[in-house]
Amino acid sequence: MARRDTAQLAIRLDRQAEAVCKHYLSNGHREGRYWLVGDVQNSPGRSMFVRLTGPETGKGAAGKWTDAATAEHGDLLDVIRESCGLVDFKDVADEARSFLSLPRPEPDPLPRSRPERALAGSPEAARRLFAMAQPITGTVVETHLRKRAITTLHETGALRFHPRCYYRPERHDPTETWPAMIAAVTDLDGVQTGAHRTWLLPDGSDKAPVATPRRAMGNLLGHGVRFGVAQDVLAAGEGIETVLSARSGLPHMPMMAALSAAHLAAIRFPATLRRLYIVRDADPAGDGARDSLIERARGVGIEAVVLSPVLGDFNEDLRQFGIDALRAALRVQILPEDVSRFLAA
């Protein structure tokens, strides 16, 4: 869409600012010259305010909004994009034209229904979040992982970077935005069922100073964040950084992060799997997951081999002792036939 067409579409929405707010920000209400709501995603609250009256353009224009909690701001096209969970601007423009009862520039051969907003925490919301993110190369995510001594970053398409990912401590608390690592959780067929978010400091030096810097959404049980495609051999562990640390020493071995001890114990096995390496965390929860997984694997004829860290987990080992020591420790724990196949030269 040309810039002029976009501007005209925004002005038409601004002329009906209150109607737009009633439709897309239905959890809010009018107070004087403003529409108050929790955030641009239509959460209940009062931190975001939309100007309902004013000139068509410039300072104080109708339709402009600001979120006092996050300092975000925008126009009514942004409201439509975020409240409907849309990614492509063409879909945003089509939705705006539908609301304004305007013809499309080029009619579609088939009628398009209005996109539904994905339920918070649903697999569809997870897929949309991942689609909005970008590859990690050259981003804060890559910086963060390298600061954790993780430099083996091949086959990490399951990881992406979102520069302003929403974070809300509790349901009715103000929304914050932080950079985040977004990880796709997939099933055995590669279908995305969920997502995992790790909020980070803007310089990537550490995790964001929030109460729960890691959160997952969607359907997780049995699935995981995958690095490489498993055939007869797979290594599985809990956390993303733990698994990537083990993969630094075994760069050719397919691995997956189940995201918790309970989910690790319940992972689903590929039909072709013959050997499972369990990337263990050295704590009671890790011991329980290890024991449960060994029993399940052996019950279906899969050989289970435990990989144990010296410290609490393999990322601690990697940062404390270095890659050469980690590689040496893994060499004596994997089976001899897997050394030449998976261990780094």
- The angle, 0 to 180 degrees and rounded to 10, between the axes of the packed helices 89-100 and 76-84 is 110
Q: Which residue has the higher pLDDT, 97 or 334?
A: 334
Q: Which amino acid is at 98?
A: S
- Bridge partner residues of 159 (DSSP): 183
Please enumerate in sequence order all residues whose Cβ is within 8 A of that of 88, keeping only pairs 6 or more positions apart, or say none: none
Q: How many CB atoms lie within 10 A of CB 97?
A: 15
CA 142 – CA 140 distance, rounded (Å): 5
Residue 112's pLDDT is 53
Q: Is 337 helix (H, G, I), strand (E, B) or coil?
A: helix
Please give the structure tokens belonging to residue 45: 């609250």
What does pLDDT average to over the chain?
89
E strand or H helix that includes residue 140: helix 140-147
CA dihedral 290, 295, 300, 302 (to 10 degrees): 40
pLDDT-derived band at 3 (thresholds 50, 70, 90) equals low
Summarize pLDDT for 327-339 with one digit per residue, the tens: 999 999 999 999 9
Express each pLDDT in 161-191 by its tens digit: 999 999 988 766 788 999 999 999 999 999 9
Strands 255-257 and 233-237: parallel
CA 210, 215, 221: angle at the middle one, nearest 5?
A: 160
Edge-first strand order for the sheet with 225-227 is 225-227, 255-257, 233-237, 275-279, 303-307
Tell me 178's DSSP state.
Answer: E
Residue 1 pLDDT exceeds 50: no
- Give the type of residue at 158: A
Q: Which pLDDT score is estimated for 71?
A: 78
Q: In 3-state terms, what secondary structure has residue 58?
A: coil
Tens of pLDDT, residue by residue over 280-329, are 999 999 999 999 999 999 999 999 999 999 999 999 999 999 999 999 99
pLDDT at residue 81, as a whole number: 86
Task: Please list, in sequence order, all residues whose beta carbon lies within 8 angstroms of the beta carbon of residue 253, skipping any fewer than 6 positions away.
Answer: 228, 233, 234, 235, 247, 277, 338, 342
Which SS3 state, helix, strand or coil, does residue 218 take?
A: strand
- The C-alpha atoms of residue 51 and residue 22 are separated, in whole angstroms, by 13
Residue with tokens 């890659």: 323
The CA R_g of the chain, rounded to the nearest whole Å, is: 24
Q: Identify the sign of the CA torsion 118, 120, 122, 128.
A: positive
- Tell me the per-residue pLDDT of 209-227, one tens digit each, with 9 for 90 and over: 999 999 999 999 999 999 9
Which two tokens mark 145?
A: 């992982």
106, pLDDT greater than 70 = no
Q: For the purposes of burial, counting CB atoms within 10 Å of the CB of 17, is it exposed (0-12), middle (13-18) or buried (19 or more)?
A: buried
**Cβ distance 282 to 239 under 8 Å?**
no
Give me 156's structure tokens: 């990490």
- Evaluate whether 283 touches 222 at the Cβ level (below 8 Å): no
Q: 270 with 252: CB under 8 angstroms?
A: no
Q: Is the pLDDT of residue 274 over 50?
A: yes
Which residues lie across from 233 on neighbouring strands? 275
- Spatial separation of the C-alpha atoms in residues 229 and 237, rounded to whole Å: 15
Cα(154)–Cα(345) distance, rounded to whole angstroms? 16
Position 109: which residue type?
P
Nearest to residue 84, comparing CAs of 134, 35, 26? 26
